[in-house]
């Protein structure tokens, strides 16, 4: 049964039934046509836990290994997931787009982007997907500020606030969390995304493309967990300036 179709012409009495149907589909934990895209670069220590977590909620997972130099690919191969490997390191944006392209080619009806570093929780997937299944939106964006953060350094918090202001300035959209990698989109929404920024600038580019698609989007509370290892491996706070500069360059020159 397609929950979107059942919500199409609901009367008041049928609306309650339709909403119950959506809740039931979400609570089944396995949603037909759901694909999770996990871009990964040197996440050999964390990928196994992430896959074990995600596979509790989804049977179609694609890991895009962005030319890792550790055992990320080997660890991923032990799980019933698709593994797509870039021959050279291109960046998270490129890996994300590769995963989205692959999932759509496999017939995905819903695509979720999920980080490989353990910051995201698969338990957030049902809430993330609910607006899509209810036909309320084509994009569902996770927000740590509507939800919860665990172990987030204050410097990182400031940077995310700055990213939020930057996004409002240049994309004209108010988001509580502009750079959250946990997102869900319908097939139509995913097909309107085509990232050309290979590195971290893709986070702003994807917001731009979501806004320009004209399709409805919502923010959903999610939990983001930081650990010493992920903070050490992740983007340096000082790199934020370089990312902002590249974004400005893209906008001015292109």
Partner 1 sequence: MTLFQWCFAPLCFLLAMILVFRTARRTGAAWRALLWALVWLVGGVIILWPDLTTLAATALGIGRGTDLVLYVGALVGLYAFQRLYGRTRRLENTITEVVRRQAIDRATRGPAGSQTPEDASYGP
User: Least distance (Å) from partner 1 to the CB of residue 253?
Assistant: 5
CB environment 58-88: b (16+ within 10 A), e (fewer): bebbbbbbbebeeebbebbeebebbbbbbee
Q: For residues 54 and 123, what is the distance between their CA atoms, to the nearest angstrom?
A: 8
Q: Which of 15, 16, 20, 78 binds partner 1 (CB under 8 A)?
A: 78
176 binds partner 1 (CB under 8 A): no
Q: For residues 122 and 137, what is the distance between their CA atoms, to the nearest angstrom?
A: 20
- The footprint of partner 1 on this chain (CB under 8 A) covers a number of residues equal to 33
40 binds partner 1 (CB under 8 A): no
Q: Which of 34, 62, 111, 141 binds partner 1 (CB under 8 A)?
A: 62
- In sequence order, the 6+-apart residues with CB closer than 8 A to the CB of 159 are 237, 240
Q: Which helix (H) or strand (E) holds 215?
A: none
13 binds partner 1 (CB under 8 A): no
1 binds partner 1 (CB under 8 A): no
158 binds partner 1 (CB under 8 A): no
Segment contacting partner 1 by CB under 8 A, of 37-45, 59-67, 202-210, 218-226 = 59-67
Hey, which residues between 197 and 226 contact partner 1 (CB under 8 A)?
198
User: Least distance (Å) from partner 1 to the CB of residue 28?
Assistant: 9
Query: Which C-beta is closer to partner 1: that of 78 or that of 239?
Result: 78
Segment contacting partner 1 by CB under 8 A, of 13-21, 83-91, 161-169, 216-224 = 83-91
Q: What is the DSSP code string of 217-253? A: EEEEEEEEE--HHHHHHS--TTHHHHHHHHHHHHHHH
Query: Which C-beta is closer to partner 1: that of 77 or that of 157?
Result: 77
Hey, which residues between 96 and 135 contact partner 1 (CB under 8 A)?
97-98, 101-102, 105
Q: For residues 227 and 48, what is the distance between their CA atoms, to the nearest angstrom?
A: 16
56 binds partner 1 (CB under 8 A): yes
Query: Which C-beta is closer to partner 1: that of 81 or that of 128?
Result: 81
Alpha-helix residue ranges (DSSP H) falling in the chain: 3-6, 12-27, 47-54, 72-77, 92-105, 125-133, 154-171, 187-191, 202-213, 228-233, 239-253
**Cα distance from N-terminal residue to C-terminal residue, the chain:** 44
Give the binding site for partner 1 (CB under 8 A).
30, 48, 52, 55-56, 59, 62, 64, 76-88, 90, 94, 97-98, 101-102, 105, 196, 198, 249, 253-254
């Amino acid at each position: 049964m397609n929950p979107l179709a059942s919500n199409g012409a609901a009367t008041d009495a049928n609306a309650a039934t339709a909403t119950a149907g959506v809740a039931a589909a979400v609570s089944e934990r396995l949603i037909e046509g759901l694909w999770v895209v996990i871009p990964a670069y040197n996440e050999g220590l964390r990928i196994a836990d992430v896959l074990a977590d995600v596979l509790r909620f989804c049977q179609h997972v694609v890991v895009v290994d962005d030319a890792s130099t550790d055992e990320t690919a080997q660890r991923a191969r032990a799980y019933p997931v698709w593994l797509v490997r870039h021959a050279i390191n291109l960046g998270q944006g490129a890996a994300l787009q590769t995963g989205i392209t692959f999932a759509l080619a496999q017939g995905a009806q819903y695509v979720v982007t999920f980080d490989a570093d353990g910051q995201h929780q698969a338990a957030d997937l049902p809430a993330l997907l609910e607006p899509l299944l209810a036909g309320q939106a084509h994009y569902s964006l996770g927000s740590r500020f509507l939800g919860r953060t665990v172990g987030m350094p204050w410097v990182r918090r400031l940077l995310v606030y700055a990213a939020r202001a930057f996004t409002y300035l240049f994309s004209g959209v108010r988001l509580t969390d502009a750079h959250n990698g946990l997102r869900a989109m319908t097939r139509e929404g995913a097909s309107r995304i085509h990232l050309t920024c290979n590195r971290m600038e893709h986070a702003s580019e994807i917001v731009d493309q979501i806004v320009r698609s004209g399709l409805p989007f919502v923010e959903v509370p999610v939990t983001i967990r930081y650990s010493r290892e992920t903070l050490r491996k992740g983007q340096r706070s000082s790199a934020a300036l370089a990312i902002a500069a590249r974004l400005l360059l893209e906008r001015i020159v292109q």
